[in-house]
Structure 1
Amino acid sequence: MKNYLSLIPISAKVRKHSHRMTVLCIIISVLLVTTIFSISDMMIRSEGRTLQAKHGNWHIGIENLSEGTAEEISRRPDVLAVGRAEKFNTDAEDPYYIGKTKAALYGTDQNYLTEMVTAIEEGEYPQEDNEVVLSSNAKVILNVKIGDHVELQTPAGNKEVIISGFGSDDKQAYDGQYFLIGVYMRYGAFASLMEANGVFCSPVWYVQFQSAGEAVGAIAELSEDYRIQADSISENTALMAMAGKSSSNSVKSVYGIAGFLFVLVLIAGGLMISGSMNSNVAQRTRFFGMMRCIGASRSQVIRYVRLEALNWCKKAVPIGLVAGTVISWCICAVLHYGIGGEFKDLPVFAFSPVGLLSGAAVGVITVLIAAQLPAIRAAKVSPVSAISGNMDQGRTGHRKMRLKFGKIEKALGMHHAIGSKKAWFLMTASFSLSIILVFSFSVGLQFAKALLPAMRDWQPDLLLNGYANERILSPGLCDEIQAIPGVKQVYGCAYMASVPAISSREGVQQVNLVSYSSFLMDCAEDVVTQGDIAGVVGDNLQVMTAVNEKENPLRVGDTVEINGTTVEITGAVSEGVYPTENSVICSPETYERLTGEQNYSLIGIILDKDATNDTIQQIYALVGDNVIFSDLRESNSQDRMTYTATVFVVYSFLLIIAIITVFNIINSISMSVTARMKQYGIMRAVGMDSRQVMRMIASEAFTYAISGLVIGGGLGILLNHYLYVSLVTRYFGNVWHMPVVLCILVLIFTLGAAVLAFCVPAKRIQNMVITENIQSM
């Protein structure tokens, strides 16, 4: 043997079984990091393509720019392309038609429509001023094809145009709706048409750079060189965010929260490894004492422990990388083939260099950091400890154990748990972090649900709207639609904005009045946050409001006088059909009493699973030309699949964290029992039975669990509140409430993990041979 480090491979062979727990901890840590980064990499690749198709591949848009200046910008070496576009009547308020369907007009040049957005789905960009590209829904609404002639009707006169293609730069705006057609024309033809109708033109110039990084640097240069106002420059937030270059504060805050949660995950893995190594070192006190006896210095012992940990990495890291990659493939396959939708482009059997490098690097670094405390502990072992085999014996012998908790075995168990401050800290921290992560990621699901309208109970499959929320839909229409086969539920909703009002709440001078039919009232029962809404049904002069801390000052107990009639707010809900600003929601009877009107602004239709296209056609036949008819089935399906994928990923992740936590406490208790087998033998010899020993081990496990529950639960609830306010309240206005159900689940999980932890070594205690333990001392 040339040096002490030569003992590492020898020790690895001799103590292969005792080391495998620590190796398994390293594997799990590497596996977790590799899986997270690999899946994130695949999602970023897929999302990048999706966002580019949805929002275009331009980086910045500039308003109030002359054509000459745009030409100069296009000659910059860092610019790939410059294109312009302008839109008009996208809200369908002005009388521009193709046939009987309203038209939104777009003026673009070829660079924008063919290079910066993937707009042309069929055909080509208009080559003449009398050619247009129509949105794809025109094929269904007008029953037309490429080469057909259609008439564009404007207030200044009609114009016959030829269809050169189909497509749109905003597919979601036109998919599944039948009330508006997008008309894309050459910018010169658009400008002439707008001039004839007395509309002022001011295009937005879109700039595509070589990369997002160059775009960030160019914004300041363009502002200075061409004296462009800061508010005239906008960025393609989706594309810039994917490259990590967005200046959006909301994007930065999401990045910050994601980074913080990832650090928590790394700490959880590090604590698990450190706890396992700490227990491993505690079992080998005599070994390190013998090293000191034969001349090893403290620094040599520290180096030995660190290199021993790295030696474990030689086996653990490759296994963790392979397992993490396979798990990421499985998850991607479930998302790609099982859920589909926006995940249909997600790569499945692809290697992620980011995931592999991150897993390997973080695994090694985490192991080195985790080995620091155990290495120092090993270095502190004195040569005398080689004889006793217990480095804590001399230090703990002078402590008096206070029996405040009943029976001796319970007190001894608590004493074993808190006797080693480092072990107690590691176990408590491991439990706490796991609980904190559960509370943190639960907010992610709530945020995802708030983002996706399809997750609401009242989300319709088909939607009828009056233009500008005009109240033109009669209640009788609901009955007609309900009678059509394939229709599951129909509801109506009236909306009147900016109604003058006198309120007991200071500063409220107008409200947005909304009426809910009976089905919406039933759905509202599930989202009540304050008060009682039972009295809102019928003509009881009771109303409710949608709570939004940002936009709605109205609260339960306030009174509002509308058209001489006073109503009282008796309840509040977390969300509504219409915007929550100054919202007053009432029954149709109360609405008629306050306004004298009965008609609805909106009718929502929920279909049965067996609904056919004939059902859609029958409903469409009942709708007039002045009604917006929207088919939301495809977008609802996409939203539900997205939420299912989010739930799957989050719960898979939390399951891994739970497994790590349970494994950690089982491993720690098991190693603690192994290290104290001789002590248990002595206790059995002096009269303690096996049940008392088990109660002592249970007391130790529950001490770890309860301390972690108190600290993790307290910090987790605080973090849950912070994340909820930062994500949900900030963007949607919903009010945070104590997650009682989650608290109960966390309590059950924590106590269950503790029970499982002391049950595992039970067989060893029951099979303990007292004489062998005493003879080996």
Structure 2
Amino acid sequence: MKSYLSLIPISAKVRRRQNRMTILCIVIAVFLVSAIFSVADMMLRTQMNRAAGKDGSWHLQIAGITQSQAEQLAQQPDVVCTGAGAVFNEGGEEDYRLNGKRVVLYGCDVQFLLVNRSVAFAGTFPEQDGEVLLGKGAARIFGVAIGDSVTLKLPDGQSRTLTVTGIGGVDESYYEMQFALVDIYLPQETFESLLTGQGEALPQTVYDLQYTSAAKAAKALPQLQQQYGEDAVHENLNVMGSAGQSNSTAFRTVYGMAGVLFALVLLAGVLMISGTMNSNVAQRTRFFGMMRCLGMSKQQVVHFVRMEALNWCRIAVPIGLVLGSFSSWAVCGALRYGIGGEFATTPVFRLSMGGLCAGVVVGVVTVLLAAQAPAKRAAEVPPVAAASGSEQAAVVHHAANLGSGRTETALGIYHATASKKNWFLITASFALSIVLALGFIVILQFASLLLPSLAPWQADVIYTGYDNERVLPDTMAQQLRRMPGVARVWGCTGLVHVPASSDRNNVEQVTFCSYDDFMLESSKSMVVKGRMAKNSGADNEVMTMYNKTNPIRVGDTITVNGVPLTVVGAFSQGIFPDDVTIIAPETLFRRVAGEQNYNMIGVQLDRTASDETVLALAAFSSDQIVVQDLRESNRQDRGTYYAARIVLYGFLAIIGGISLLNIVNSISMSVSARMKQYGILRAIGMDDAQLKRMISAEAGTYAVSGLVVGIALGLVLNRMLYTRLITHYFGAAWQVPWGCLAVIVVVVLAAVVLAVYNPVRRILMQPITATISEL
């Protein structure tokens, strides 16, 4: 034997069964980190591709500069492409019509289109007067192709015939769901000439800059803001944020949350492996005592334990990386083929170098950090322990105060609390899992609130009056209900700036809205305070919105048009703005405000509906009625929501599984470390039932301490996240999550039951003499 380190592979062979759990813990830590980082890497690639398709590939946008200044910017070595563009009649309010539809006019160059699209447009960009490039939605509505003609009607009554040279514009996801608003693209000279001829002021031209990388753009941003002013320079938030280069407060918050999650994962791994190694060292007290007798110094013992831990990494890290890669492939496959939508381009069978490197680095670092305390503990083992075969016991100054309790219960509690470090590690591991669970619940609630398409009344096709005018009669809603492919139709009216008074003198005007019977019934699940108002309008009961800016509270009496209305409940979200809003059943609304047309009608489609159904519904579109197809938007929002649930619940399940394994492992290793003591207790008369109660008391002590600390810290984190994310943005007040706490308690108690079973069975199956003589 050349050195003490030569004993490491020999010890690994002899203690293969005992080391199995430690190696498993390292495998799980590496697997968790590599899986999370690999999935995050694939999601980042997907988001970057999606951001380029939705918001363009440009990084910075500058307004209010001259063409010569733009040309100077384009000559910078880090700038790949510069596109110039201006937009007029963005809301369609001016009297410009294309084949009878309201039209948005863009004046731009071809580079502007290229940096605002993910794929090339069809055809060619117009170069002369009389040529136009149509948006994809416009081409679909009019049924035209390249080479066909469209007619642009101007406010002065003149009409121009334009030849379509290309199809494909910017922000296609917005224009493709419109049936009353279309977009066209003209050369800048034609655009300016047309507007000047109509006496219009020319809109400001913006210049979109695409850099070689987001990092180069982030480096150039401060200088450009200093040169042209902060209000003149804007970043493409999605593109810059996806690359981790955004200065946005929202993205910095996301980066911070990712950092916290990384720290929690690292801490979970350290606690799990450190607890396992502590128990491992405790089982080998005689071994380290013998090594000290043979001349091994304390420093050599520390080095031995660390190298032994790294030797376990040789086996555990590759296994963890393989499992992490397979898990990331499974998650990405579920997102791509199960959810689709915006995740349809998610890479599946790709190795993430970032995920693999993170798994290796974090795995090794975690093991080294976890080995610190066990290594020092092993170094403190005195040589005399080689003879006794047990670790040096703490000095006991007096007998335990058992009171009226059982002796075996007191012994179990003593075993759990005797080693303060071990007790702390197991308690901290329990607590960390509980804290993560309580924190993730808030993130899931926040994700749910961010996606309004999940509301039960969310429409597939929606009709609104232009500029929110009330031009939709009830007869239109009845006609829509009779159309094939239509499942449900609802209508609502919103009157803004309605004079009102409150019994608390804190309201001067309100937004007075009506919900029909379907809207009220489907909104029951969104009542966050009070109760639902009666559909009949009896007792003048109304609802409001629950948010921080709304002064109206449940129980207030609001007088509208001389009619006192009692607020009996509050919704978490609604159709109309969430400011000072009163929502009344339709019967009560008409009694207070008189007969009114709707300014919004929503249509939910059934499974038989097709694109032809939507085109038939779009026939109601007119100059005053705006029709929007929300199906794709709803699919993407639902996909995002369920993807968030898969990732977050998956992460929570992994953390919960690690916690469960750690509980079972810690108690099992603790029992194994005291196997000789249990044998002595059985030899002097302790029966099987007493032994079970003693080990159950030890496990219960860990569980109770972990629950107390975890729930206390978890509620603090839960309230902080809820206040900052949900109360701040949606106004809902924080409440103690009793249901979640009950689930946590049940899971922890179940883990204790599982943890006790195997160690007790192993002890009872061994002869007493074998237990006493076990090394």
Query: Could you tell me whether the CA contact under 8 Å between 2:457 and 2:523 is conserved in 1?
Result: no
Residue identity matched to 2:128: E
Query: Could you tell me whether the CA contact under 8 Å between 1:414 and 1:703 is conserved in 2?
Result: yes
2:720 counterpart SS class: helix
157-166 vs 422-431, which deviates more?
157-166
Alignment correspondent of 1:474: 473
Residue identity matched to 2:204: S
Query: Could you tell me whether the CA contact under 8 Å between 1:670 and 1:761 is conserved in 2?
Result: yes
Q: 595, 598, 602: which is aligned to 1:597? A: 595
Alignment correspondent of 1:369: 369
2:25 counterpart SS class: helix
Q: Does 1:714 align with 2:726?
A: no
Question: Structure 2 regions of 5+ residues with no counterpart?
Answer: none
1:371 counterpart SS class: helix
205-214 vs 247-256, which deviates more?
205-214
Please report the TM-score for the alignment, with normalisation by the length of structure 1: 0.96
Alignment correspondent of 1:20: 20
Q: For 1:417-474, what per-residue CA distance to the aligned partner results, in whole angstroms no more than 9, with x for missing partners?
A: 1111111111111111111111122222222222222211111111111111111111
Q: For 1:545-602, what per-residue CA distance to the aligned partner results, in whole angstroms no more than 9, with x for missing partners?
A: 11111x3222222333333333232211111111101111112223223332321111
Q: 1:197, 1:499 → 2: CA distance?
A: 38
Q: Given the superposition, is the C-alpha separation of residues 299 and 506 from structure 1 closer, same or farther in structure 2, using an over 3 Å criterion?
A: farther
Q: For 1:678-699, what per-residue CA distance to the aligned partner results, in whole angstroms no more than 9, with x for missing partners?
A: 2212222222211211111111
Structure 1 segment 603-614 matched on structure 2, within 5 A: 603-613=601-611
Query: Could you tell me whether the CA contact under 8 Å between 1:120 and 1:165 is conserved in 2?
Result: no
Q: For 1:4-63, what per-residue CA distance to the aligned partner results, in whole angstroms no more than 9, with x for missing partners?
A: 222212211211211111111111101111101111111111111111111111111112
Post-superposition offset of 1:490: 1.2
Q: 1:516, 1:654 → 2: CA distance?
A: 38
Alignment correspondent of 2:627: 629
Q: Given the superposition, is the C-alpha separation of residues 101 and 505 from structure 1 closer, same or farther in structure 2, using an over 3 Å criterion?
A: farther
Q: 2:500, 2:254 → 1: CA distance?
A: 39
1:738 counterpart SS class: coil
Residue identity matched to 1:706: V
Residue identity matched to 1:690: D
Q: Given the superposition, is the C-alpha separation of residues 44 and 712 from structure 1 closer, same or farther in structure 2, using an over 3 Å criterion?
A: same
Query: Could you tell me whether the CA contact under 8 Å between 2:125 and 2:166 is conserved in 1?
Result: yes
Q: For 1:58-98, what per-residue CA distance to the aligned partner results, in whole angstroms no more than 9, with x for missing partners?
A: 11111221222212222222222222222222322222211
Structure 1 segment 29-40 matched on structure 2, within 5 A: 29-40=29-40
Q: For 1:633-684, what per-residue CA distance to the aligned partner results, in whole angstroms no more than 9, with x for missing partners?
A: 2221222222222222222222211111111111111111112222212222
Post-superposition offset of 1:290: 1.2
Q: Does 1:49 align with 2:49?
A: yes
Q: Given the superposition, is the C-alpha separation of residues 498 and 86 from structure 1 closer, same or farther in structure 2, using an over 3 Å criterion?
A: farther
Query: Could you tell me whether the CA contact under 8 Å between 1:278 and 1:423 is conserved in 2?
Result: yes
Q: 1:536, 1:274 → 2: CA distance?
A: 60
Structure 1 segment 613-652 matched on structure 2, within 5 A: 613=611, 615-622=613-620, 624-652=622-650
**Large movers: runs of 4+ above 6 Å:** none
Q: Given the superposition, is the C-alpha separation of residues 507 and 64 from structure 1 closer, same or farther in structure 2, using an over 3 Å criterion?
A: farther
Query: Could you tell me whether the CA contact under 8 Å between 1:681 and 1:768 is conserved in 2?
Result: no
Query: Could you tell me whether the CA contact under 8 Å between 2:492 and 2:515 is conserved in 1?
Result: yes
Q: Does 1:206 align with 2:208?
A: yes
Post-superposition offset of 1:116: 4.4
Aligned Cα RMSD in Å?
1.9
Q: Does 1:573 align with 2:571?
A: yes
Q: Given the superposition, is the C-alpha separation of residues 552 and 198 from structure 1 closer, same or farther in structure 2, using an over 3 Å criterion?
A: farther
Q: 2:64, 2:403 → 1: CA distance?
A: 78
Q: Given the superposition, is the C-alpha separation of residues 134 and 772 from structure 1 closer, same or farther in structure 2, using an over 3 Å criterion?
A: same
Q: For 1:302-326, what per-residue CA distance to the aligned partner results, in whole angstroms no more than 9, with x for missing partners?
A: 1111111111111111111111111
Alignment correspondent of 1:417: 416
Q: 1:620, 1:2 → 2: CA distance?
A: 85
160-169 vs 187-196, which deviates more?
187-196
Q: For 1:206-259, what per-residue CA distance to the aligned partner results, in whole angstroms no more than 9, with x for missing partners?
A: 12222222222322323444xx22112111111111221111011101111121
Q: Given the superposition, is the C-alpha separation of residues 735 and 130 from structure 1 closer, same or farther in structure 2, using an over 3 Å criterion?
A: farther
Structure 1 segment 451-470 matched on structure 2, within 5 A: 451-470=450-469
Q: 2:66, 2:346 → 1: CA distance?
A: 41
Q: Does 1:9 align with 2:9?
A: yes
Post-superposition offset of 1:492: 0.8
2:577 counterpart SS class: coil
Q: For 1:96-120, what per-residue CA distance to the aligned partner results, in whole angstroms no more than 9, with x for missing partners?
A: 2112221111111111112443475
Q: 1:733, 1:154 → 2: CA distance?
A: 46
Alignment correspondent of 2:756: 758
2:136 counterpart SS class: coil
Post-superposition offset of 1:721: 2.1
Q: For 1:306-365, what per-residue CA distance to the aligned partner results, in whole angstroms no more than 9, with x for missing partners?
A: 111111111111111111111111221222222222111111111111011110011000
Post-superposition offset of 1:507: 5.0
Query: Could you tell me whether the CA contact under 8 Å between 2:115 and 2:210 is conserved in 1?
Result: no
Alignment correspondent of 2:666: 668
Q: Given the superposition, is the C-alpha separation of residues 120 and 135 from structure 1 closer, same or farther in structure 2, using an over 3 Å criterion?
A: farther
214-223 vs 245-254, which deviates more?
214-223
Query: Could you tell me whether the CA contact under 8 Å between 2:486 and 2:605 is conserved in 1?
Result: yes
Residue identity matched to 2:420: K
487-496 vs 108-117, which deviates more?
108-117
Q: Does 1:496 align with 2:498?
A: no
Q: 2:526, 2:476 → 1: CA distance?
A: 28
Residue identity matched to 1:297: S
Q: 2:612, 2:539 → 1: CA distance?
A: 41
Question: Structure 1 regions of 5+ residues with no counterpart?
Answer: none
Post-superposition offset of 1:193: 2.2
1:566 counterpart SS class: strand
Query: Could you tell me whether the CA contact under 8 Å between 1:120 and 1:166 is conserved in 2?
Result: no
Alignment correspondent of 1:353: 353
Query: Could you tell me whether the CA contact under 8 Å between 1:119 and 1:167 is conserved in 2?
Result: no
Query: Could you tell me whether the CA contact under 8 Å between 1:537 and 1:586 is conserved in 2?
Result: no
Alignment correspondent of 1:177: 178
Query: Could you tell me whether the CA contact under 8 Å between 1:539 and 1:589 is conserved in 2?
Result: no
Q: 1:161, 1:734 → 2: CA distance?
A: 53
Alignment correspondent of 2:334: 334
Post-superposition offset of 1:162: 1.3
